[in-house]
Chain A
């Protein structure tokens, strides 16, 4: 157990160094965006973040902080929910992408895996995966190759390839959703809340695959997570969102060691239990200072 945690610690340390060296040329950069839903509801109030090439970046925060909205404004799924990026820019590989359609963006290599899996319930697992290759106009053989690759990463899906996705377990559905995104041969996956409703063991399994994909396929990840502890363990870098603003960012290891993060998101506080009133006051002060 202890050796394992040591290994991850050194891992994170080396990756942290890597972050600082490549941070000069961001792969994906979100610059001070403001998002308004239904023309009236201001959800993001100037969010900026960067994802370097080949890194895993975590987006942390409580319910309603704006994590999903941030991901959706990058993937341009926002418009379908009557949301709109009113200020700021989003760039991928140095190119403005905030006015593109989802289809164009997927072709460029940015693919979102939505919160709550969203598998096509009445399609088989394999058909689900094949829909992911919709944007690729390549011969069938090449698509079959990608399919094999997905089955290589998710052997469980191969066993269940013929069953309707609606009848598979939550973990299998999450794998199907990630696998489906992989079929588009993405360079960057926006992963929204992969741990939602899954047993801790399955969560670990999925994050292991994320790490694998990141290492072997060179796919960059931006993942929104409420499960701060797990996310920081697998990420290189993290951003903390609160009320539609980025209130903190840093290397994953630093964030995991940060007293405030520990208290707010991991439920650990140095002075044992405090009265609710104190906590509230402290949090309020902290929130406006940051």
Chain B
């Protein structure tokens, strides 16, 4: 039983890491109805910028605000140069644009900082908590726990921003209907600027955590793919959904690997989440917490 809980808790904590990436998608999807394909690239860009800055012998405490500024500026530039001319275009156009953007940001990151793999040391050790292993004989990673804490803070503050503030309401309004939002005097540019800025911030946090775990390398852009099943499970518009989806994906993939894996020769961790997402699409296409698809007859 201890083993089961160890796997479960380990899974939940690693799921939080997926949630962090999924959050970035949710933010932009909520505010502009666009699936931002470039989110993975932004995570990579953020992490490599941070590492690149620290390589100039700058302390991480200064490197963090610097990279944050870079990410926010990147977000604002994307809004101004790419999205602003495309107001009121069909969603698919915007989606295609983000694919192009992904390639551009990946290229830009490598152009600025080179393509080699770097390590990232956050001062957080990926080692088991001693008192937990002594008491219950389980190993729970310190690193994972810290990541979960960061995610919890991020999610709470974002959920408050979206549901309790004037700006949050405007963000949701813009997501629903660009034109109507424009008509009531909500400045789209400003709103999108805010959203891309916040998405840049989330990408930075996700990039740092993922980067310190897997190393800062091009493969970071693919963590975005792991966010997809999370989004499908949790719902594209829901911040709590991103978290719950991440937890479910994390827990089930680890449990499946441990308990079902041996029956089929192992290695199912990689594809199990996608299968789960597929089943979910059939049963509940809007996700657990997604906005109901409103149909009126």
Contact = CB atoms under 8 A, between A and B. Distances in A.
B165 to A, nearest CB: 11
A93 to B, nearest CB: 18
Contacts of B166: 130, 134
Nearest to A127: B169
Contact of A164 (B87, B183, B186, B294): B294
Given A103-B185, A131-B170, A120 B180 contact: yes
Interface residues of A, number: 34
Given A123-B169, A131-B169, A118 B88 contact: no
Contacts of A87: none
Contacts of A103: 185-187
Interface stretch (B132-140, B171-179, B226-234): B171-179
B185 A134 contact: yes
Contacts of A120: 172-173, 176-177, 180-181
Interface string B223-250: 0000000000000010000000000000
Contacts of B186: 103, 131, 134
B121 interface: no
Contact of A101 (B172, B184, B187): B187
A102 B173 CA distance: 16
Given A111-B185, A112-B183, A81 B88 contact: yes
A123 B185 contact: no
A181 interface: yes
Contact of B296 (A127, A134, A167, A184): A167
B276 to A, nearest CB: 26
B138 to A, nearest CB: 42
Contact of B182 (A77, A119, A123, A180): A77
Contacts of B180: 114, 118-120, 177
Contacts of A130: 166, 169
A184 B184 contact: yes
B173 A131 contact: yes
Interface in A76-132: 77, 80-81, 101-103, 105-107, 111-114, 118-123, 127-128, 130-132
Contacts of A180: 184
A153 to B, nearest CB: 17
B55 interface: no
A226 interface: no
Given A121-B177, A122-B172, A75 B294 contact: no
A269 interface: no
Interface in B148-196: 166, 169-170, 172-173, 175-187
A135 interface: yes
Nearest to A117: B180
A120 B170 CA distance: 10
A46 interface: no
A242 to B, nearest CB: 26
A163 B156 CA distance: 24
Interface residues of B, number: 25
Given A120-B172, A121-B294, A107 B185 contact: yes
Contacts of B177: 118-121
Contact of B181 (A107, A131, A177): A131
A119 B183 CA distance: 11
A26 interface: no
B126 interface: no
Nearest to A120: B176
A88 to B, nearest CB: 22
A166 B173 contact: no
Contact of A166 (B88, B169, B185, B296): B296
Contacts of B294: 121-122, 164, 166-167
B176 A114 contact: no
Contacts of A177: 180
Contact of B179 (A80, A134, A164, A184): A80
Interface in B51-105: 87-88
A164 B295 CA distance: 12
A191 to B, nearest CB: 12
B178 A80 contact: yes
Given A80-B88, A123-B173, A131-B186, 16 more contacts: A77-B183, A101-B187, A106-B185, A111-B185, A113-B183, A119-B177, A120-B177, A122-B172, A122-B291, A123-B176, A131-B169, A131-B170, A131-B184, A134-B184, A164-B292, A166-B296
- Nearest 8 Cβ contacts at the A-B interface: A106-B185, A166-B294, A118-B180, A120-B176, A135-B185, A131-B173, A103-B187, A103-B185
30 contacts: A75-B183, A80-B87, A102-B183, A103-B186, A106-B184, A111-B183, A111-B185, A113-B183, A114-B179, A118-B183, A119-B177, A120-B173, A120-B176, A121-B294, A122-B175, A122-B176, A122-B291, A123-B172, A123-B176, A127-B169, A128-B173, A130-B169, A131-B186, A134-B184, A134-B185, A135-B185, A164-B292, A167-B296, A181-B184, A184-B185
